[in-house]
Amino acid sequence: MCNTEIDDLIIRVLDRRQTDEELQSFLLWYQASEENKQLFFQLKDIYERRKGGLYPDEQAISASWNRLCDKMKKQQATTIQPRLSKKPDRYARTVIWAIGAAVALVLIVSGILFMTEREEVRWIEVETAPRSEPYSVLLSDGSTVLLNASSKLKYPEKFEGKSREVYLDGEAFFTVAGDKRLAFIVHTDQQDIRVLGTQFNVQGYSSDPYTVTTLISGKVKLLTYNSSHHLKKEIVMLPNQQLFFDKQRNDASIFRIDPSETVAWMNGVYSFRDAPLEEITRRLGKVFGIAFIVPDESAREEKYTGKFFSNQSPEEIVGVLNFKGQFRSEFRNDTLFLLKR
């Protein structure tokens, strides 16, 4: 690492660990000069290579990183100063990074062996890239999982023991084979879903502050946990119900809906009804592999209704979001800035 103030701030933004003030500081630095923009995208590129393991030559990556660090250490013309404001920017988390290829399906499938007292368990991990087509996974019990873009699924090669357990970070549609002896459990961030045989959709990205579970048929018991993994609630869901779990507030709300719009992503359609721009850009960022940055708080809170399609270009997405001409947009290296006029 460079151990510079700029370097540390950019890495925090890339990791989605920045505070509201740090995001404002980053935006001030980024917009201060063309050189700053170049440095940011160079660092972002090297960061993604390191994190994604896309290049096996670690020495070449380290050399590139060190060269960039030298540039950043020499660059002192623009210093980073925290932006002071009376009202904190509560929605700075709109910075969304969907790391991976922008087009085509990229699957990362790996086997991991875990020793137990009785036997080895081979775990398989599948990861889909942004803009990828829905990818189907067949589990050993006959259950199927349809993975959306930018999603990860971890499951055993063969189910053993008293339950069937999988781990999801992303969005997926589950069709669970019935087995009254073995419950099927989906683990997501701060939430477990226990079923016997049913169909349901889960939107549970660990980077999102919420999880959305939609039941199509059957019955499920949903368990929510706080950040310390202490059980908070147990909720039984019925068909055509959707549960919205706010992970930050540990609050769950359940609604009766028409699930057709929720599962439309399987046909490449993403529908939003009276949804804040922050929610829309967060979801589209994962689907299309675009980093959205919307500095203005009021713009992030504004609500929209509309549809997007998985085959749309970034320019078409901007055209839909900016139908009133309220933004000045800047698109570069899979990063889209929407700046209010």
Dump pLDDT digits (tens) for 57-109.
Answer: 444 445 555 555 665 555 544 444 433 333 334 333 333 333 333 323 344 44
pLDDT > 50? residue 200: yes
Helix pair angle (5-14, 58-74), 10° resolution = 130
Q: Report the distance separating Cα 304 and Cα 273, nearest Å.
A: 7
Residue 180: which pLDDT band, with cuts at 50, 70 and 90? confident
pLDDT value of position 34: 78
pLDDT digits 0-9 by tens, 5-40: 777 777 777 766 677 777 778 888 877 887 777 777
Lowest mean pLDDT among 101-105, 137-141, 177-181, 210-214: 101-105
Lowest mean pLDDT among 15-24, 135-144, 207-216, 321-330: 15-24
pLDDT value of position 314: 84
Report which of residues 55 and 190 the model is more confident about. Answer: 190
Q: Can you list the domains of the chain with their CATH numbers?
A: 5-84 (no CATH), 110-260 (2.60.120.1440), 264-340 (3.55.50.30)
Helix pair angle (5-14, 34-52), 10° resolution = 60
Lowest mean pLDDT among 93-102, 143-152, 172-181, 262-271: 93-102
Q: Report the number of secondary-structure helices (H) and strands (E) in the chain.
A: 7, 19
Summarize the confidence of residues 157-163 as an average pLDDT.
Answer: 90
SS3 of residue 32 by DSSP: helix
212 token code pair: 């959305």
pLDDT > 90? residue 188: yes
pLDDT digits 0-9 by tens, 270-323: 999 999 999 999 999 999 888 888 888 888 899 999 899 999 988 898 888 888
SS3 of residue 71 by DSSP: helix
With 0.95 as the threshold, say if the pTM is over it.
Answer: no
Contact between residue 214 and residue 259 where contact means Cβ atoms under 8 Å apart: yes
183-188 and 163-175 beta bridge pairing: parallel
Residue 151: which pLDDT band, with cuts at 50, 70 and 90? very high
Lowest mean pLDDT among 49-53, 113-117, 297-301, 309-313: 113-117
SS3 of residue 25 by DSSP: helix
Q: Report the distance separating Cα 22 and Cα 148, nearest Å.
A: 31
- The residue type at 28: L
Give the residues across from 233 on adjacent strands.
224
pLDDT digits 0-9 by tens, 230-248: 888 899 999 999 999 999 8
pLDDT > 80? residue 172: yes
Percent of the chain with pLDDT over 70: 75
pLDDT > 60? residue 113: no
Mean pLDDT for all residues in the chain: 78
pLDDT value of position 67: 58
Q: Report the distance separating Cα 94 and Cα 164, nearest Å.
A: 35
210 token code pair: 């919420």
Residue 55: which pLDDT band, with cuts at 50, 70 and 90? very low
Quickly list DSSP for 191-253. Answer: EEEEESS-EEEEEE-TTSSEEEEEEEES-EEEEEE-TT--EEEEEEE-TTEEEEEETTTTEEE
Summarize the confidence of residues 39-63 as an average pLDDT.
Answer: 54
Contact between residue 173 and residue 201 where contact means Cβ atoms under 8 Å apart: yes
